[in-house]
Structure formats: structure tokens, C-alpha cells
């Protein structure tokens, strides 16, 4: 190929968009955004909120009027049976009736519907928060499963190299068959550890893809999210917010029950047409008579008052549970941080130093290959233990950061 053609190809490759060169790793923020966009529960909650909002707009209107059409005093017997013209008392009637609801009662109905709509609207951010939390946990599991797979891969490589070195020493009569057999068994265990970790990595990646819809082969490090304080966590906790909406609905139901002690009047106007006689106009007012308010209306008010008391008790319990959840997660974070620091300083660092010392002794023919392999394997095992603690810490932080509703409590 001519030199100028090679240069043109190199220049074209340099000008290709980054997407063609290789997709960037999926970050945690991108995964959270994708999960919220794909969540069908969020879509369902949004539709429910729209429906409740439409119902709230209609709740404050007067009931529809009723049209009545009929025939009065129609002959039922005799030769003129069912005749509309034979009897002077027969009257064709058409009328309209309207139930009249007082303005304060209509306002109470609208307020109740709006409170119910507000409770329904809360379902969307609750569903989004749940999607974010589950996605964050799945992302953490997938990333740390990949990191653990890298460590088991190092252990497998170490075992393979040690076995090759043991075979070489056996050929030069510097080693022993027992040493080689032990190293071969260690390689088999290392290969099985890698297979098990690949299985866990595949399951974690599938779980993450279920939320994001994207492959989890390449993930960026999760990082540490900002953690809320106790008051902010409790105020924005999904259960607390839901109970507050229940209280708002219960209060409006109680107010409406109190107003319902006054019955609604119904007005009716009708026009009657008769044969050979003047037409008639009728006007009537129907007034319900609450003859036993202590047995009916008062019981409804008492029931709504009990529902309000129930909702307030559930809110207090939800706040107590949220505070306990925050305390437990915060304690987990603190204890895991302490354990990670202790493992690094008291376990991993001495093992790393032991590996370096044993390797130097092995090179000086003062330590066996098995001793160096054992020291290096113990170091890798400590790294895996440290990685598991770091994963648990990341999960605890994610629950503190993503369990509450984003942007704080909703009033």
C-alpha cells in the first residue's frame, strides 16, 4: 500500500467519533437515569396520578340534573284502558330535577379529591426512588463481582505459574513430586474459584441489565454518594411520605363527614299537558330528614375520626422505623469503615510484607516454592476479604443515599 494511503487511513481513524473507537464505561449516574426511564412502575404511577388529578377537577361540581318524562292518571281498566285522550285527568308530564350541594360541601369534596390525587402523585417519585435504589445495589454487586473476578484470575495465574515452576524444579531434582501435586491441586481450586466468580459476575450483570437495559460488561467505579443526615433521611423516607399523604386524605374525609350531617336538597320542576283542560306546572323540594343522626351521621363522623387517629399513629410508627433504619445503616457504615481500616493495616499489610520476604528468601534458596506460593495466596485471599467488606460498605451507603426520595422530602 502506498505511503500516502497509509497516512490517509491513519488520519481517518483519528477523526472517528469516540463511539466508534469504544463505548465509555457505564457510570452509576447513567445507570440510575436509565433505570428511572425504563421503570414501568413509574409509568404506571404517572398514569394513576393523571387520572386522580382529572377526578379532582370534577369533584367540586354540582351533580348532573335529572330529566323525568311520564304519564300521570292513565286509565287502567274499562273500554278506554291505556287511552291518553279519553280521561281529562290524564296528563303527559316532563320535568327536571336538580340535587343542590352547598358550596362548602362541594369545596370539601374537591379538597378530598385533591388530597387523594396528591397521594396518588406521590407514587411516581416512590417508584423512581425504588428503581434507583435497586439499580444502585445491582450496580455495586456487578462492579465488585468484576473486581473479585480479577482477583481470582490473579490467583489462577499465580497457581499456574507456581505449578510450572514446580515442574521445572522437579525436572532439575530441586523439587519434589509432593510439592508439584500440591501445586496442581491448588491450581484446580483456583480455576474453580474463577468459575464460581464468573457465575456470580454473570448473575450480577444480568440483574443490572434488567434495570438499565444495557450490558454491564464495562462499569465505572461506583464512587461514594453523599449521605443525608438523620432528619433528612426520615423526612424523605418513602413510608413516612406515604403516611403523611394518608393523614391529609383522612383529614379531608373527616371534614366532609362533618358537612354531610346537613342533607342535600333536591329541586324539581315539571310541566304537565292535559286534554281539554289547562296545562299544569309543578314545583317540589325534596328535603331528606335525618331522623337518627346519632345512629348514622354521627357514626360516620366517628369512623372518619378513628381513621385519622389510625393514620397519625401509622405516621409516628413509620418515622420511628425510618429513624431506626437510619441508625442501623449508619452503624453498619461506621463499623465497616473500621473493619476495612483494620484489615488493611493489621491483615493485608503484614501479608504483603510476608510475600515480599518469602519471595526474596525463595530467590536466595532459603525458602521453598510452596512457602512463597502459600504466602502470595494468603495475600490474595485477604484482598478478596477486603473487597467483600468494601462491597458491603458500598451497599450500606447506597441504601442511605438512595432510599429517600430524591431532592428531599415532599411537603
Instruction: Please say whether the beta carbons of 372 and 359 come within 8 A.
Output: yes
Q: Which three cell numbers stand for residue 62?
A: 354540582
Please check the confidence at residue 165 and state whether its pLDDT lies above 80: no
251 vs 176, higher pLDDT: 251
Q: Which three cell numbers stand for residue 286?
A: 325534596
- The rounded distance, in Å, linking the Cα atoms of 369 and 236 is 58
- The pLDDT confidence band at residue 373, using thresholds 50, 70 and 90, is confident
Query: Would the pTM of this model clear 0.85, i.e. be above it?
Result: no
For position 233, what pLDDT does the model report?
A: 95
How many helices and strands, by DSSP H and E, does the chain display?
12, 4
For position 1, what pLDDT does the model report?
A: 44
- The pLDDT confidence band at residue 19, using thresholds 50, 70 and 90, is very low
Decide the pairing of beta strands 66-72 and 280-286.
unpaired
Instruction: Please say whether the beta carbons of 100 and 264 come within 8 A.
Output: yes
Instruction: Please say whether the beta carbons of 264 and 106 come within 8 A.
Output: no
For position 258, what pLDDT does the model report?
A: 92
In sequence order, the 6+-apart residues with CB closer than 8 A to the CB of 108 are 252, 255, 256, 259
Please check the confidence at residue 20 and state whether its pLDDT lies above 60: no
Q: Which helix (H) or strand (E) holds 259?
A: helix 238-259
Please report the beta strands in 150-293, taking only residues with DSSP state E, as ranges in sequence order. 265-274, 280-286
- The rounded distance, in Å, linking the Cα atoms of 66 and 98 is 6
Give the number of C-alpha atoms closer than 13 A to the C-alpha of residue 99, restricted to the C-beta side: 11
- The rounded distance, in Å, linking the Cα atoms of 211 and 333 is 26
Look-up: residue for cell 524444579?
169
The 8-class DSSP code of residue 183 comes to: H
CB neighbourhood size of 379 (10 A): 24
In sequence order, the 6+-apart residues with CB closer than 8 A to the CB of 145 are 197, 200, 201, 204, 205
Please check the confidence at residue 406 and state whether its pLDDT lies above 90: no
Q: What is the mean pLDDT of the chain?
A: 86
- The pLDDT confidence band at residue 409, using thresholds 50, 70 and 90, is very low
- The pLDDT confidence band at residue 173, using thresholds 50, 70 and 90, is low
The 8-class DSSP code of residue 368 comes to: -
For position 23, what pLDDT does the model report?
A: 62
- The rounded distance, in Å, linking the Cα atoms of 154 and 99 is 81
Please check the confidence at residue 164 and state whether its pLDDT lies above 60: yes
Please check the confidence at residue 12 and state whether its pLDDT lies above 50: no
Helix, strand, or coil (residue 345) = helix
Average confidence (pLDDT) over 117-133:
92
- Maximum Cα–Cα distance across the chain: 136
Instruction: Please say whether the beta carbons of 109 and 257 come within 8 A.
Output: no
Please report the beta strands in 121-259, taking only residues with DSSP state E, as ranges in sequence order. none
CATH code of domain 26-73+92-402: 1.20.1600.10
Instruction: Please say whether the beta carbons of 378 and 186 come within 8 A.
Output: no
Please check the confidence at residue 16 and state whether its pLDDT lies above 60: no
Q: How far is CA 211 from CA 27, 40, 141, in A?
A: 14, 10, 13
Task: Summarize pLDDT for 314-360 with one digit per residue, the tens.
Answer: 999 999 999 999 999 999 999 999 999 999 999 999 999 998 998 89
Helix, strand, or coil (residue 100) = strand
Task: Summarize pLDDT for 220-248 with one digit per residue, the tens.
Answer: 999 889 999 999 999 999 999 999 999 99
Amino acid at each position: 500500500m502506498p505511503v500516502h494511503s497509509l497516512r490517509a487511513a491513519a488520519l481517518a481513524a483519528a477523526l472517528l467519533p469516540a463511539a466508534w473507537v469504544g463505548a465509555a464505561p457505564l457510570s452509576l449516574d447513567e445507570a440510575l437515569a436509565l433505570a428511572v426511564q425504563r421503570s414501568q412502575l413509574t409509568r404506571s404511577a404517572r398514569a394513576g396520578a393523571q387520572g386522580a388529578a382529572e377526578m379532582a377537577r370534577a369533584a367540586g361540581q354540582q351533580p348532573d340534573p335529572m330529566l323525568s318524562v311520564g304519564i300521570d292518571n292513565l286509565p287502567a281498566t274499562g273500554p278506554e284502558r291505556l287511552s291518553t285522550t279519553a280521561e281529562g285527568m290524564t296528563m303527559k308530564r316532563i320535568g327536571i330535577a336538580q340535587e343542590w350541594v352547598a358550596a362548602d360541601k362541594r369545596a370539601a369534596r374537591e379538597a378530598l379529591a385533591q388530597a387523594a390525587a396528591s397521594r396518588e402523585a406521590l407514587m411516581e417519585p416512590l417508584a423512581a426512588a425504588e428503581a434507583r435504589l435497586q439499580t444502585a445495589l445491582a450496580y455495586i454487586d456487578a462492579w465488585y463481582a468484576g473486581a473479585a473476578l480479577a482477583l481470582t484470575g490473579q490467583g489462577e495465574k499465580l497457581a499456574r505459574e507456581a505449578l510450572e515452576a514446580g515442574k521445572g524444579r522437579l525436572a532439575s531434582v530441586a523439587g519434589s513430586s509432593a510439592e508439584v501435586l500440591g501445586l496442581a491441586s491448588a491450581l484446580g481450586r483456583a480455576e474453580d474459584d474463577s468459575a464460581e466468580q464468573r457465575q456470580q459476575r454473570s448473575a450480577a450483570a444480568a440483574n443490572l441489565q434488567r434495570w438499565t437495559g444495557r450490558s454491564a460488561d464495562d462499569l465505572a467505579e461506583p464512587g461514594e454518594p453523599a449521605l443525608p443526615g438523620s432528619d433528612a433521611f426520615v423526612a424523605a423516607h418513602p413510608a413516612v411520605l406515604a403516611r403523611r399523604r394518608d393523614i391529609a386524605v383522612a383529614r379531608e374525609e373527616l371534614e366532609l363527614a362533618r358537612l354531610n350531617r346537613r342533607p342535600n336538597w333536591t329541586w324539581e320542576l315539571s310541566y304537565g299537558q292535559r286534554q281539554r283542560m289547562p296545562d299544569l306546572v309543578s314545583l317540589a323540594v325534596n328535603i331528606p330528614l335525618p331522623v337518627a343522626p346519632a345512629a348514622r351521621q354521627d357514626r360516620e363522623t366517628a369512623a372518619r375520626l378513628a381513621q385519622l387517629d389510625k393514620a397519625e399513629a401509622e405516621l409516628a410508627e413509620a418515622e420511628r422505623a425510618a429513624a431506626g433504619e437510619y441508625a442501623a445503616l449508619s452503624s453498619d457504615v461506621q463499623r465497616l469503615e473500621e473493619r476495612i481500616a483494620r484489615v488493611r493495616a493489621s491483615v493485608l499489610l503484614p501479608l504483603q510484607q510476608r510475600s515480599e520476604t518469602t519471595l526474596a528468601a525463595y530467590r536466595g534458596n532459603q525458602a521453598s516454592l510452596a512457602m512463597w506460593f502459600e504466602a502470595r495466596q494468603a495475600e490474595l485471599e485477604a484482598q478478596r476479604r477486603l473487597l467483600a467488606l468494601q462491597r458491603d460498605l458500598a451497599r450500606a451507603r447506597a441504601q442511605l443515599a438512595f432510599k429517600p426520595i430524591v431532592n428531599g422530602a415532599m411537603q
